[in-house]
Structure 1
Amino acid sequence: MGWSYRKSFKMGPVKINLSRHGVGHSVGGRAGRVTTSADGRKTMTLRIPGTGISWRRQIKSR
């Protein structure tokens, strides 16, 4: 089994994520968030707070 590392810092609506793969960030709140991962992938997540229901879609870059 491999090892992993992840640490997050929150500054208002922006969250900085540190991992062994690099630095990623996400912007948004409880109901919606856009995330850019350390390898450059972008994902949009929409949620209905309190229900556990969410929808996630990878954003295609042009």
Structure 2
Amino acid sequence: MATNAGQGRVVYPDTGKSVAVELIPIDGDAGAGSRLSLPAMRLLEAALTGLPTVQVYGP
């Protein structure tokens, strides 16, 4: 689990789109989930009312 912020990429397999993002660790146990900004979700063309599954790639 990463402990420092860094650059990464998020891919939404349903659309095949990806976006460069700043990855910022959240408090919690490994596997506790992630947060994705609304602008990033829009760029990915992910459903804003659902719980989309994305792939996260980091340093």
TM-score by length of 1: 0.24
Which structure is higher in helix share? 2
- Higher RCO (CA 8 Å, separation ≥ 6 residues): 2
- Higher strand residue share: 1
